[in-house]
Structure 1
Amino acid sequence: MELFAVATPGLETPLADEIRALGHTPDIQLGGIGFTGGWADIWRANLRLRGATRILARIGAFRAMHPAQLDKRARRFPWADWLRPDVPIRIEATSRKSRIYHAGAIIQRFEAAIRDSLGAPIADDALVTLKIRIEDDLCTISLDTSGESLHKRGHKQAVGKAPMRETMAAMFLRECGFDGREPVLDPMCGSGTFVIEAAEIAAGLAPGRLRGFAFEQLPGFDPQAWAALRTGAATTPPLTFYGRDRDPGAIRMSHENAERAGVGGWTDFQACAFADLTRPEGPPGLVMINPPYGARIGNKGPLFGLHAAMGEVLRSRFRGWRVGLVTSEPQLARATGLPFRDPGPYVAHGGLKIRLFQTGPL
């Protein structure tokens, strides 16, 4: 099948590297990565890719110039090959540069075709989603094999303000060269996302191991083969991953999230103001920071002083460590006085455009 891993815009390249590591040839496109594979590859991609938002399987395509033609060809489609009659379906549709342009009318015709030919119920809250896209009169049918967004790993019940999604955090770690063989410290850890992702990577834990997926509700799903695929013991990393935050509530939240993720034994969360930050014992590693910026704050003035103080602490106490800083404000990054390289591409995040700034060893 032709598969498509949806990426956060701006993070397609590290996701392509992940897909290449799974043995596929990635086709980098705007908003995601194309590759080919069968059902086992779909299961593996959902289970193991850290940067994908969801995995789509393109199951068919046909030309449709007018609604009657769309209706006729939708009813001829072999739905029983791809959907179960007892599993509810949700349908989404978009149209661009086509004579059939009304998304609501497209959805109505597909709903009727599936009800009449397969008998499957239609529900707005269904886990299985069928995505219909008509562009230049070509109708492409895709199945969302993931269900809930893949950033929902299954362990996080509590999040802080303006949280960074796990998929983004994992790709920023990858962009910084993190491969699980060095410590990571997040001095503004919030709900612990960077720290937990780093610990999971070091332990070889699949990001999707604690959750379910839409493909489990599709025909041909093999529970035994799936159970064998997702079975894998963690390796205990010889490292600790550190989270610090001045808010004791954030530290409590991070600790609980890490315990649910099964990495509590390899993480260390403590309440600590940035000014009191100390270098952990052991080898140098990576400091990852997602500080306040953009819409998260009002008056930016005080943040310049904060960033200058951050830079002073890191330069004086973290010699040999690398720094990765995520922000929407290049001026704030420069205020740290740290020797940042050219920033990475713009990445969409909560209505903002953010970038990764990183240094070599300090």
Structure 2
Amino acid sequence: MTDEIFEIFLATPPGLEETLLLEVMEAGFKRPETTGGGVTIWGDWRDVWRANLTLRGTSKVLARVGDFRAFHLAQLDKRSRKYAWGDILTKGQSVKVDVATNKKSKIYHAGAAVERIERAIAEEFGATIAEGLEDADLVIKARIDDNNVILSVDTSGDGLHKRGHKQAMGKAPMRETMAAMFLRACGYDGHEPVLDPMCGSGTFLIEAAEIARNMMAGRARAFSFERLATYDAAAVQSIRDAWQTRPSDQRFYGSDRNVNVIGSAGENAARAGVADMCTFTPTPVSSISRPDGPAGLVIVNPPYGARVGKKKDLFALYGAFGDKMRAEFKGWRVGMITTDTQLAEATKLPWLPTEAPIAHGGLKVKLFRTDPL
């Protein structure tokens, strides 16, 4: 394993960069800074492995592995052939290159740039080139900016929201990474109960329960970094072994009017190892009740009307939710994710000022939050 320090990019949906920065700083990574679509840190391969294994809010971890200048395609070809691909790649793995360019560079045709770099890797290193990004064992990201070619390797593989234990999903599911960031943005730190009255497949509650027990986010999945020449299995195992969970007796409550998703939520919680902390019931919003015990956080990702349900039919749902919160949940905080400010206002809850919208499945959503009611 090399101790060389390099830049590492931690991707997150635009709008969540500041929230991810808080998690990264709390985790003790070096030189964290927000940038468009994520946070950059500086570290070595051990930091790459730790970020993949432990961070809850990042969707990908990209390791910057090289850069050079190129003003035309022939130069790109030549310098790609001189790059020491064997320092990063291993024999027998299929590779795909993904290129992003901008108008500040003389090389502006991304497809032609992909072709040159892939041919260089195949002819100089002997790698097999995959048909598409989804088919590749390893993905090389090349960003050509102001004639600088910046090479990074995707060390995650499948998006990090795929924790490895959710098999059943409802409609328009919230990704685990986003759920973790929304929980953090609502001030949740694992030391209070959480209720989701439209819980779907249980994403918010499973994330909250895992945070309460300090369970390693990536404990149940594989990563692309395991296929790189820099991989040190013993060092990665030492990160796993050093991780400490904690006991928690917090409770997490999920309900949904859809009986089928309630069963799926329970199964997902069991696979995650938090079923003993979670209670799921087939209950409509109008019939939920305040749990016994201290106040906590209500978080909900209701239908927006854009994909699930029709907007005009949703005002009654949002209104019923707001009525229930005001009537029975005094002392609880509320967090709501929706695309539509009018729907949020239909709850008549005392929302705090909202932040920038966040990209979610081709839509722009906002997090609406209250202080304790």
TM-score, normalising length: structure 1: 0.97
The alpha-carbon deviation at position 65 of structure 1 amounts to: 0.8
> 1: CA distance between counterparts of 2:137 and 2:18?
29
Equivalent runs, 1:37-56 vs 2, <5 Å: 37-56=43-62
Moved more, 146-155 or 98-107: 98-107
Aligned to 2:99: 93
Q: Distance in 1 between matches of 2:322 and 2:118?
A: 57
1:157 alignment partner in structure 2: 167
Q: Kindly report structure 1 stretches of 4+ aligned residues shifted beyond 4 Å.
A: none
For 2:119, the equivalent position in structure 1 comes to 112
- Which residues of 2 match residues 326-337 of structure 1 at below 5 A? 326-337=337-348
Once residues 198 and 10 of structure 1 are traced to their aligned partners in structure 2, the CA distance between those partners, rounded to angstroms, is 21
Report the equivalent of 2:255.
Answer: 244
Match of 2:232 among 212, 218, 222: 222
TM-fit CA distance, 1:298:
5.3
Is residue 20–residue 26 contact of structure 1 (8 Å, CA) maintained in 2?
Answer: yes
Structure 2 residue identity aligned to 1:122: I
1:174 equivalent in structure 2 = 184
The answer to whether the 8 Å contact 1:294/1:352 transfers is: no
Q: Aligned partners of 2:256 and 2:309: how far apart in 1?
A: 21
Question: What amino acid does structure 2 have at the position aligned with 1:59?
Answer: V
Q: Distance in 2 between matches of 1:54 and 1:336?
A: 35
Question: Are 1:23 and 2:28 counterparts?
Answer: yes
SS class of match (2:129): coil
| Structure 1 portions without partners, runs of 5+ | none
Contact 1:6 1:33 in 2 (8 A): yes
SS in 2 for 1:295: coil
* Counterpart Cα distance in 1 of 2:123 and 2:320: 66
User: What SS does structure 2 have at the residue aligned with 1:225?
Assistant: helix
Matched-pair contact (CA < 8 Å) for 1:127–1:148 = no
Partner of 1:188: 198
CA-CA distance at 1:273 after TM superposition: 1.0
Matched with 1:14 is 19
Q: Any gaps of 5 or more consecutive residues in structure 2?
A: 1-5
Give the counterpart of 1:59 among 62, 65, 69: 65
Shift of 1:233: 5.1
Q: Report SS of the residue matched to 1:8.
A: coil
1:302-347: per-residue Cα shift (whole Å, max 9, x none)? 3212211111111111111110011111111111111111112200
Residue 151 (structure 2) pairs with residue 146 (structure 1): no
Count of residues in correspondence between the two structures: 362
Aligned twin of 1:2: 7
The one-letter code of the counterpart of 2:19 is P
SS at structure 2 position matched to 1:60: strand
Query: Which deviates the most, 181-190 or 238-247?
Result: 238-247
Q: Offset of 1:297 from its aligned partner?
A: 4.2
Whether the 8 Å CA contact 2:171–2:308 is kept in 1: the answer is: no
Structure 1 residues 190 and 208: alpha-carbon distance in aligned structure 2, compared to 1, 3 A threshold: same
Alpha-carbon separation, structure 2, partners of 1:144 and 1:79: 14
Q: 1:170 and 1:345 mapped to 2: Cα distance?
A: 17
* RMSD of equivalent CA atoms: 1.2
1:282 counterpart residue number: 293
Contact 1:163 1:191 in 2 (8 A): yes
Q: What letter is aligned with 1:293? A: Y
> Is the aligned partner of 1:339 residue 2:345?
no
Measure, in 2, the Cα distance between the counterparts of 1:157 and 1:327: 25
Stretch moving more, 351-360 or 116-125:
116-125
Q: Among the aligned pairs, what percent are the same residue?
A: 52
- Which residue of the partner structure matches residue 138 of structure 2? 128
State whether structure 2 residue 283 is matched by structure 1 residue 262. no
**Structure 1 residue 234: Cα displacement:** 3.1
Amino acid in structure 1 at the alignment position of 2:285: F
Q: Which whole-Å CA distance do the structure 1 matches of 2:74 and 2:310 have between them?
A: 57
Residue 349 of structure 1 aligns with which residue?
360
1:35 alignment partner AA: I
